[in-house]
Amino acid sequence: MVVMELIGFNYTFGVHDGFKMFIYYTDSSNFLCLIVSAIFTVFMLPALSKGRTSGFVSTYMMQHYKGSSEMPRWISMIRYISTCCLMLTFLVVLFVLGPKKGFEDQLLKGVHPIDHVLAPVLSLLSFLFLETAEPLPKKAPVYAVIPTLIYAVILIAMNAAGLADGPYFFLRVHEQSPVKSVLWTMAILGVNYLVSWLVMKAYNSMKK
């Protein structure tokens, strides 16, 4: 995940003129995945290897790790939040942006095979089947919606102030009624919560 996200970050950082890339939810959610995956690797590789490593990963820390192979709660939570953000990206592309802009553009152009498809799918599969931790709390979906809510508030405010144009049609408050913008935002947050709840239920059912 780290290598894949680094490839995507390097490309989008150049294409979108540096940090302007963060006006895109796709780029923001994939950058979050990059950071979280790096944290996961640093903290969990010693635990998962349980000292049985060879070659370049045979660091002192890994060879002498005596802790639990189970993920700490805070790591599983940020992995969960990151995965849910990526899944929202995947679903918005599949059901909103793909039909409107064309699936070839949204799935095959640039690094979209990574940031729109591979990263969300692989993150979900890894989280559900490869990462061991305690079940997530019932309020976990609320936490998972927070990054999307923050993004929506900031981008809608920037669009209203004329500091940004979109980048998605449903954020352009000057080109549609305020009610339509609010309804779009509520719908996407609702989908975000539903997806997060489903991921939580699937994850917890496997950890019992």
Residues 23-54: pLDDT tens digits?
999 999 999 999 999 988 887 766 555 545 44
Compute CA distances 200 → 54, 77, 134, whole Å: 35, 10, 11
Share of the chain above pLDDT 70, in %: 87
Peptide bond into 167 cis (omega under 30): yes
Residues 115-151: pLDDT tens digits?
999 999 999 999 999 887 889 999 999 999 999 999 9
Domain ranges of the chain: 2-207
What pLDDT does residue 46 have?
A: 62
Of the pLDDT bands very low, low, confident and very high (cuts 50, 70, 90), residue 183 is very high
Q: Tell me the whole-structure pTM to 2 decimals.
A: 0.88
- Tell me: pLDDT of 66 over 70: no
Closest by CA to 149, choosing from 180, 178, 116, 192, is 192
Question: What is the rounded CA–CA span in Å between residue 54 and residue 202?
Answer: 34
Question: What is the rounded CA–CA span in Å between residue 24 and residue 151?
Answer: 9
Q: Which two tokens stand for residue 18?
A: 């540096």
